[in-house]
Structure 1
Amino acid sequence: MWYTIFSGLICGALLGFVMQRGRFCLTGGFRDMYIAKNNRIFYALLIAIAVQSIGVFTLIAGGWLSYDAGAFPWFGTVFGGYVFGIGIVMAGGCATGTWYRAGEGLLGSWIALFAYMLTSAAMRSAHMTDFNHQVKGLSTAHNSIAETLGISVWPLIALLLVVTLAVVAKELRKPKLKMAMLPPKRSGLAHLLFEKRWHPFITAILIGLIATLAWPLSEATGRHFGLGITSPSANIIQYLVMGDSKFLNWGVFLVLGIFLGSFIAAKASREFRLRAADARTSVRSFGGGILMGFGASIAGGCSIGNGLVMTAMMTWQGWVGLVFMILGVWTASWFLFVRPQRKARLQTASA
């Protein structure tokens, strides 16, 4: 039990620290792809996926891990991923982003997080058993892309690596915008960790390494998966309601560690402060949290479970889920940002 607590908290704290300092927000990144035509965070996600994919399949090849992708629940992945994408825009952050922003003191994220946890737990209750079985029944035999194609997974990893290196190299060749920077107040390691702006690509490499580390740490506790946010978040509510210690698994301490690591990073970088949301934002955050919990539950994962981990495992669930998650983000961005701005510009022009 002590190993479960310690390793889960440490892995989560590392992830929360890195994501907070690197401002690694997939919601904002997916939204920027559509609104600002800026793909930098998406390219960073590809880096994290590639690093983890190489690391985990190397462990599998060495006999340290085993993994079975199982069946591909296509309906839940498509519909759930799309709903989840809409929800994270309303909530102002994805599952992991909501956890680390709660650690920064953002009360709107607390509201979204509570709704997300509560809905995820409700989706795992006995009342939803028949519905979940029907959704999972809409699946195909092979989730692994390599098994479907009848090839080794390594050519797929090589293709991902080549594409990732190509888009990253193209991005790095773009002229850099010169920004006015205040004189550093700290020096040495303190400046690098808590003051200097972290490059998203460096952040992504670190996230990929942490995601790789999560597999053997989790495996040692009997949990055969890497990073995961939705099920552990639901397990917290289930434990609080039922009091059954079976819900206190490695994943629970992982998500609690994300909160802790973000809090430490925010305090050390002087970015922590309690920020209340207005009534409209609070209601939208709560609604977004509900959609996040529902969507991630039927999709079998969130932006981390599907968008980072299952993509790295070269599964249909991961890549198809990621596509529909992004489409959900773009849809919500149209209604919440693009459309209102266009309407305001038209009103201004006609005034």
Structure 2
Amino acid sequence: MAYMIITGLICGALLGFVMQRGRFCLTGGFRDMYLAKNNRMFYALLVAIAVQSVGVFLLIDMGVFEYSAGTLPIVAVIVGSFIFGIGIILAGGCATGTWYRAGEGLIGSWIALAGYMLMSTIMKSGVLAPINQQIQGSSVLPTNSIADTFGINHWFIIIPFVAIVAFILFKQLTKPKVAIPALKAKRTGLAHILFEKRWNPFVTAALIGVIALIAWPLSAATGRVFGLGITTPSANILQYLTTGDSTFINWGVFLVLGIFAGSFIAAKGSKEFRFRMPDVKTGINSFVGGNLMGIGASLAGGCSIGNGLVMTAAMTWQGWIGLIFMILGTWTASYFVYVRPRQKAKAAKLKEQVAAV
């Protein structure tokens, strides 16, 4: 038990610290792909996936732990991931982003987190559990592993993927740099690097990939053979609090609690922590978005981290299909939340100008 608590909290704290300081936000990254045609954060995600994938399969090949990708509930993954993508735009952050922004004092993230935990619990063990199980049990394909589908060794998938990511990274790093005014340093040495200096998104992604890799053997040692995960552990917290059943407590629970703690430390150290109360509309959107996140992630079997980072690194159909439909859901919501209102405001302004002539 002590091992589970310590390793879970430390791994989570490292993840929360790095994500907060590196501003690693997949919601903003997916949104910017559509609104600003900026793929930088998506490329950073690919770096994190590549780093984790190489390490995880090396550990599997060395016999450190065994992992089976299982079957593919394709309808549940598609529908759930799309709903989750819509939810993270309304909530203002993905599952992990909600946890680490709550650690910054953002009350809107607390509201989204409450909706997320509540609906995840309802979907997994509450009144909606039969519906969740029915959808997950329909249209199930026998093989989830991409390599097993094609009957090839997993390295024939991983090596080309890593090569593509390396090429993308090279192109990004060799682009002409836009001059950004340097912040006046108030600290020196390690304190400046940890709490003041701007972090490169690709360095941040590489660190997240390493933390995601470390999570596998740490978690496997407690009997939970998986890497980073947010949705089920978040539901487990509420399930434990409402039932008192200690079987809901596992390594993942301490991981998510560690994310909150690590983000809080990073925010306090960088003087970014402060309580920020949302307006009524933002608060409502946050709660609705959190609920949609809980529904979507429960159906899809994972969130932006569970599917988008971990299952993609495991080279599963669930991970990559989930990531694609998550992004599509994000773009759909971005159109109605950002693009459509601007178009209406522009049309209304033009109408006023024409009427005034």
Establish whether TM, by shorter chain, passes 0.5: yes
Partner SS, residue 253 of structure 1: helix
Gaps of at least 5 residues in structure 2 are none
> How far apart, CA to CA, are the structure 1 residues paired with 2:66 and 2:337?
43
Residue 192, structure 1, aligned to residue 193, structure 2: yes
Matched to 2:335, the amino acid is: W
What's the CA shift string for 1:76-115, capped at 9, x where partnerless?
1000000000000000000000000000000000000000
> How far apart, CA to CA, are the structure 2 residues paired with 1:84 and 1:128?
17
1:223 matched to which residue of 2? 224
> How far apart, CA to CA, are the structure 2 residues paired with 1:195 and 1:349?
45
1:103 matched to which residue of 2? 103
Within 5 A, what are the aligned runs for 1:1-351?
1-137=1-137, 138-350=139-351, 351=353
Alignment: residue pair count: 351
Partner SS, residue 124 of structure 1: helix
Partner SS, residue 221 of structure 1: coil
Shift of 1:126: 4.9
> How far apart, CA to CA, are the structure 1 residues paired with 2:234 and 2:94?
13
Query: Any runs of at least 4 consecutive aligned residues in structure 1 with deviations exceeding 6 A, and if so which?
Result: none
What's the CA shift string for 1:197-241, capped at 9, x where partnerless?
000000000000000000000011111111000000000000000
Matched to 1:206, the amino acid is: L
What's the CA shift string for 1:161-190, capped at 9, x where partnerless?
111111111122222111222311111111
> How far apart, CA to CA, are the structure 2 residues paired with 1:126 and 1:107?
26
Shift of 1:343: 1.9
Partner SS, residue 127 of structure 2: helix
What's the CA shift string for 1:7-49, capped at 9, x where partnerless?
0000000000000000000000000000000000000000000
CA RMSD of aligned residues (A): 0.9
> How far apart, CA to CA, are the structure 1 residues paired with 2:347 and 2:172?
34
> How far apart, CA to CA, are the structure 2 residues paired with 1:112 and 1:132?
21
> How far apart, CA to CA, are the structure 1 residues paired with 2:342 and 2:28?
17
For residues 332 and 63 of structure 1, do their structure 2 counterparts lie closer, same or farther at Cα, with a shift above 3 Å needed? same
Shift of 1:128: 3.1
Gaps of at least 5 residues in structure 1 are none
Matched to 1:193, the amino acid is: L
Matched to 2:330, the amino acid is: V
> How far apart, CA to CA, are the structure 1 residues paired with 2:61 and 2:121?
35
